[in-house]
């Protein structure tokens, strides 16, 4: 089995997700650079030391992924083999009609974030937003108030982003904050907390979305190409929102507008351009978060537009408490309770991925390719429950993919 002796090994093996935590650790020695394929990848400006590499390897989502240990925060929670620890499951959405309409789904994460800011529970929210100068691309954003949070194209950003590239800068502020990002980002933060006590001191909440993977930038490029629009002409780029799910939408600097329905981007899985790391993800459901938010489409895809309904998975006692406080303070609606079977119906692809991941990892190992080390994510237990032929198909699929590289 090949070993990871450099950042380049992580990238070449398809394990990099572009989160940017390596950049945060290494500082000016690294930059996150967009590859020709359309992924953000670390580039060494000056060689990093072995000591720095070892620090990175202990937290990099391309090297290691861990679910939460049993501890006080999840004591007494329900446990599901696919979905892990959870307390309460509810439909929920923002009480603010504008936030609900403009958000990706129902505004659950915006509502939680706004509650924390306006009730002075944290000093700022760290999240991803669209780059005003390059609207097809993403930046790290620190939001200190409602205007910061809402007016920055922060709804689902399906293109590549490096939300952890400034995580140590956030810690250096010595201010409290909540982090909103992807499940892989949440897991990396929890791993960093083991070696940096400031994480628990300042990062008070972690909220995440249940993630279907992101699309390489080339997929977004194809979208604007279909309208003969150049990236430098863009004034606005929206993947969804302004309805649920809303339409993909662009506006140019000379005020031309174009859009397509949401399923034109996500409907045909054969046309997805999801990074390899997403295909072998052992935790796309936010097991390291306090609250995970998800879409609630029966069967896993939208059949039309609706008002916007999130489901909230409360994974920690802290998550339960802040959700109920946001409801009581008028920021969120607590809708009907849902069951874990409802969640699986809303997200059938998450169940199938979790069942398939261990076999895919084995397929990598069989090809002498390093894969992610996992712990507390139950993927081997799920593998053992699978049909033998299914597992073989998953292993074979990864082998064929690797041999095409």
State yes or no: pLDDT of 80 exceeds 70.
Answer: yes
Per the structure, the count of domains in the chain is 1
What is the Rg, in whole angstroms, of the alpha carbon atoms belonging to the chain?
Answer: 20
Percent above pLDDT 70 for the chain: 98
Sign of CA dihedral 373, 266, 310, 40: positive
Q: What's the chain's average pLDDT?
A: 95
State yes or no: pLDDT of 122 exceeds 90.
Answer: yes
State yes or no: pLDDT of 320 exceeds 70.
Answer: yes
Which of 143, 188, 148 is CA-nearest to residue 168?
188
Whole-model pTM: value is 0.96
Residue 207 lies in a domain: yes
Average pLDDT score over residue span 367-372: 93
State yes or no: pLDDT of 401 exceeds 70.
Answer: yes
Predicted pLDDT of residue 14: 93
Residue 337 lies in a domain: yes
Predicted pLDDT of residue 367: 92
Residue 20 lies in a domain: no
Residue 355 lies in a domain: no
CA distance 181 to 126: 9
**pLDDT band per the 50, 70, 90 thresholds, residue 360:** very high
Residue 127 lies in a domain: yes
Q: 126 Cβ partners below 8 Å, 6+ apart?
A: 140, 141, 142, 163, 166, 167, 170, 177, 178, 179, 180
On whether the CB atoms of residues 337 and 90 are closer than 8 A, the answer is yes
Residue burial 19-32, b: 16+ Cβ < 10 Å; e: rest:
bbbbbbbbeebbbb
Predicted pLDDT of residue 1: 52
Average pLDDT score over residue span 155-182: 96
Residue 191 lies in a domain: yes
Residue 400 lies in a domain: no
Sign of CA dihedral 226, 230, 235, 238: positive
What range does the domain containing 149 cover? 72-216+270-344
State yes or no: pLDDT of 398 exceeds 80.
Answer: yes
Our CA angle for 39, 105, 178, nearest 5°, is 70
CA distance 85 to 355: 17
Average pLDDT score over residue span 238-243: 95
State yes or no: pLDDT of 405 exceeds 70.
Answer: no
Average pLDDT score over residue span 252-270: 86
Residues written for the chain: 405
Residue 56 lies in a domain: no
Q: Is 370 left (phi over 0), alpha (psi -120 to 50) or beta?
A: beta
């Amino acid at each position: 089995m090949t070993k990871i002796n450099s950042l380049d090994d992580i990238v070449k093996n398809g394990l990099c997700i572009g989160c940017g935590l390596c950049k945060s650790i290494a500082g000016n020695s690294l930059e996150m650079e967009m590859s020709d394929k359309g992924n953000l990848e670390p580039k060494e400006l000056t060689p990093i030391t072995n000591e720095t590499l070892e620090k990175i390897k202990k937290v990099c989502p391309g090297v290691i992924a861990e679910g939460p240990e049993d501890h006080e925060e999840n004591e007494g929670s329900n446990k599901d083999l696919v979905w892990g620890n959870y307390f309460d499951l509810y439909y929920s959405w923002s009480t603010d009609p504008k936030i609900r309409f403009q958000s990706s789904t129902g505004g659950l994460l915006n509502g939680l974030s706004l509650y924390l800011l306006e009730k002075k529970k944290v000093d700022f929210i760290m999240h991803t937003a669209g780059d005003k100068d390059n609207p097809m691309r993403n930046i790290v954003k620190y939001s200190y108030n409602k205007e910061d949070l809402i007016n920055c194209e922060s709804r689902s950003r399906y293109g590549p982003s490096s939300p952890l590239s400034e995580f140590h800068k956030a810690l250096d502020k010595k201010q409290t904050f909540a982090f909103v990002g992807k499940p892989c980002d949440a897991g990396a933060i929890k791993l960093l907390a083991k070696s940096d006590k400031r994480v628990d001191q300042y990062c008070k909440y972690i909220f995440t979305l249940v993630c279907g993977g992101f699309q390489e930038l080339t997929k977004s490029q194809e979208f604007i190409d279909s309208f003969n629009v150049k990236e430098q002409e863009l004034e606005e780029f929206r993947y969804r929102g302004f309805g649920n799910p809303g339409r993909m939408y662009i506006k140019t600097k000379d005020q031309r507008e174009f859009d397509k329905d949401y399923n034109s981007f996500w409907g045909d899985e054969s046309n997805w351009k999801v990074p390899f790391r997403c295909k072998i993800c052992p935790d796309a459901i936010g097991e390291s978060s306090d609250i995970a938010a998800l879409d609630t489409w029966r069967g896993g895809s939208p059949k039309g537009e609706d008002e916007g309904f999130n489901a909230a998975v409360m994974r920690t006692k802290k998550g339960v408490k802040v959700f109920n406080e946001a409801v009581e303070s008028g920021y969120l609606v607590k809708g009907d309770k849902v069951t874990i079977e409802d969640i699986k119906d809303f997200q059938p692809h998450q169940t199938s991925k979790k069942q398939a991941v261990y076999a895919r990892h084995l397929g990598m190992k069989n090809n002498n390719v390093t894969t992610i080390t996992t712990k507390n994510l139950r993927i081997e237990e799920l593998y053992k429950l699978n049909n033998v032929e299914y597992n073989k198909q998953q292993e074979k699929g990864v082998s064929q993919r690797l041999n095409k590289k």
